[in-house]
Chain A
Amino acid sequence: MSDADRVRLYRTVRLIRRFEERAIELVRAGHIVGGIHPYLGQEGIAAGVCAALGADDVIAGTHRGHGHVLAKGADPARMLAELCGRASGLNAGRGGSMHAADFGVGVLGANAIVGASGAIVTGAVWARRRRGADTVGVSFFGDGAVNEGMLLEAFNLAALWRVPVLFVCENNGYATTMPVAGAVAGSITGRAAAFGMPATVVDGQDPEAVRAAATAAVARLRAGGGPELIEAATYRFDAHHTFEHQVRLDYRPPDEVARGRSRDPVAIQGARLSTADRAAVDAGVERELAAAVEFALAGPEPDPADALAHLYASGLTARTGGG
């Protein structure tokens, strides 16, 4: 890996880390209503996978989706404005944290229905390739999704029709509060094997390891291979959702949390940079996020009179609720 790639990868994990920390501050300050599902601790996966993709490739993510959207290249300022529900946000204030999308950079949306993105990405990639593009796609999901029938059906369809989709399972150990051991019969990679899909297990805390695995998989996809699965072992540093900051749920032993947090993807990647490079990246990210917060909070509130704008692409207007 070149020094520039190494620095770029660090920049992405650092950007996601600080974005999430600033977002949590905005939740606490009341600027982001409804809270967020923090991606803290899992930054290396979005950063490493998206580093293996090109501008024409497409991804779809999850309710814990900020990292994917940012890593694929969405503007952090418009993303933060979206979280704050502003008309200047990526989705004009109509999506919020769980549905942030930026079709311009190939982000078909964070998706809050667990296991939903696999079939959508498969269809999108198949369609783009039918129209002559060289697109590959990535469907991100958590360990909780591997028991959803919809996702397993998508595995089958992608494998059957050899659609080049990289299925990335971020195994952070818990589906909300349910540990993997309490939810997953067999194994996650075994699900891939059942459909004849190659599967790789990677250390999700090491951004370069993720990037290497994703780069190799994407090369096989572009060479005409069928779909593949990467299971990235990771740990969620913070709550399932920020509501846990008020209501402490007791499901992760403190020593496990401490152990999990000791392997920090930002620290791991940062240690690979010179002190000067790292300081320069950190300062740049701080400047960008300071501007992003300012942009987000200065953004106009959407007009309630247009609450259902964009409901229909055909231009159909719905009846009002009356009164």
Chain B
Amino acid sequence: MPRLSYRRALTRALADELARDETVFLLGEDIRVGAANVTAGLLKRFGPERVRDTPLSEQAFTSFATGAALAGLRPVVEFQIPSLLFLVFEQIVNHAHKFPLMTGGQCAVPVTYLVPGSGSRTGWAGQHSDHPYSLFAHVGVTTVVPATPADAYGLLVSAVRCDDPVVVFAPAGALDVRADVDFAALAPVPLGRGRVHRPGDDVTVVAVGHLVHDALAVAEELAGEASVEVYDPRTLYPFDWDSLAESVARTRRLVVVDDSNRSCGIAGEVIATMVERVPLVAPPRRVTRPDGAVLPFAPALDRAVQPGRDQLRTAIHHVLKDG
């Protein structure tokens, strides 16, 4: 079976959607040459009207995409750097997200915002290492964080076809993941559906994005002492609460590992919702970035503030012991 990398899965999703639907077009910085290594080759195939390189004007081209969507197109906007989402939070939240309600349903804003390389890239320091998916879940913009190549393909395709704005975070920590994939079986993955990567009986570990791979590794390490279920929400908003509740109702123990800053990160929401819905036998735990984290430059410092496998092991041991 052929190997598909996460990056090429994104490229393939974009190419397939550009080929399928002529209203789809790409917009972003350096996308003609594929500086983020996702849009490579697309200019040659689809031309400069549909693979549109922009000046460094994030606010203008983000709202340009809103306008184009209001007029019936389906823009995909690439941001090379996750922190640029702070610059365009206004354009996405105040305009793209609010227009359908504020106009009483007169319009749709089907824009996809693609961040191929969110979170730490090691050594990119404070202004290039954010992972702001919880912000978008908080304001209610559809937010997806695929962990695997097949999900990256399927969720990006679904994002492009969605009639609402969708932010697709492709974690830097997952970009080099490769998987055996039957290309003929690549298909859209519905937004808002989680997935159990590894079934287990003793504890449910909810892992977001690239941390799914850490959770799977830890689950394997602990296989002799505990049966760990690894749950990948894939879409953080809307979250697949029912399927997670089903998992947690079986294990009755919950750990969340989430690359957000601790306060108001998605891990807090996952725990609150499960505590509302499911009786647990042990206090739940979460592993996150620290409160207010700014990723420091030096590699050891960078790693020190990201959720790690040691912390995850400790958290799992706690919930197993505390119950």
| Chain A residues within 8 Å of B, Cβ to Cβ | 58, 89-95, 99, 101-104, 108-109, 111, 113, 116, 118-128, 130-131, 149-150, 153-154, 156-157, 160, 308-316, 318
Contact = CB atoms under 8 A, between A and B. Distances in A.
Interface string B35-54: 00000000000000100001
B38 to A, nearest CB: 22
Interface string B101-118: 111111111100000000
A312 B100 contact: yes
Contact of B101 (A58, A94, A113, A128): A94
5 contacts: A90-B104, A103-B106, A150-B90, A313-B109, A313-B163
**Residue among A94, A120, A125 having the largest count of chain B Cβ atoms under 10 Å:** A120
Contacts of A309: 101, 105
A101 B104 CA distance: 9
Interface of B: 49, 54-55, 57, 59-73, 75, 90-91, 94-95, 99-110, 140, 142, 162-164, 192, 238
A278 B163 CA distance: 48
A313 B164 contact: yes
Contacts of B107: 101, 103, 108, 313
A311 B97 CA distance: 8
A197 to B, nearest CB: 15
A154 B54 CA distance: 12
B102 A126 contact: no
Nearest to B74: A127
Contacts of B164: 312-314, 316
Nearest to B94: A113
B105 A310 contact: yes
Given A153-B59, A316-B164, A310 B71 contact: no
A125 B106 CA distance: 18
Contacts of A156: 55, 57, 60
Contacts of B68: 123-124, 126-127
Given A119-B60, A131-B72, A131-B73, 5 more contacts: A91-B102, A123-B68, A128-B71, A150-B91, A314-B142
A119 B102 contact: no
A94 B104 CA distance: 6
Given A119-B59, A126-B68, A154-B63, A93 B104 contact: yes
Contacts of A308: 101
Contacts of B162: 314
Give 8 nearest A-B pairs by CB, closest first.
A123-B67, A92-B104, A153-B60, A313-B108, A119-B63, A310-B105, A123-B64, A127-B71
A116 B56 CA distance: 17
A95 B67 contact: no
Given A95-B103, A313-B108, A123 B66 contact: yes
A43 B134 CA distance: 44
Nearest to B64: A123
Contacts of A95: 102-104
A125 B71 CA distance: 8
Given A94-B104, A316-B142, A113 B67 contact: no
B23 to A, nearest CB: 8
B242 to A, nearest CB: 12
A104 B140 CA distance: 27
B32 to A, nearest CB: 14
A98 to B, nearest CB: 9
Given A153-B57, A312-B164, A316-B142, A94 B67 contact: no
A267 B107 CA distance: 38
Contacts of B61: 119, 157
B101 A318 contact: no
Contacts of B100: 310-313
Contacts of B63: 116, 119-120, 123, 150, 154
Contacts of A122: 60, 64, 67
A157 B110 CA distance: 21
A157 B55 contact: yes
Contacts of A150: 59-60, 63, 90-91
Contacts of B60: 118-119, 122, 150, 153-154, 156-157
Nearest to A153: B60
Given A121-B67, A127-B71, A131-B71, A89 B104 contact: yes
Nearest to B49: A130
A101 B103 CA distance: 6
Contacts of B57: 153, 156-157
B105 A92 contact: yes
Contacts of B69: 123, 127
A128 B61 CA distance: 16
A161 to B, nearest CB: 9
Contacts of A94: 101-104
A117 B90 CA distance: 13
Contacts of A315: 163
A119 B67 contact: yes
Contact of A311 (B72, B101, B110): B101
B163 A91 contact: no
A111 B75 CA distance: 21
Given A119-B64, A123-B65, A130 B73 contact: yes
Contacts of A101: 102-104, 106-107
Contacts of A118: 60
Contacts of A121: 67
Contact of B70 (A91, A108, A113, A314): A108
Contact of B73 (A58, A120, A127, A149): A127
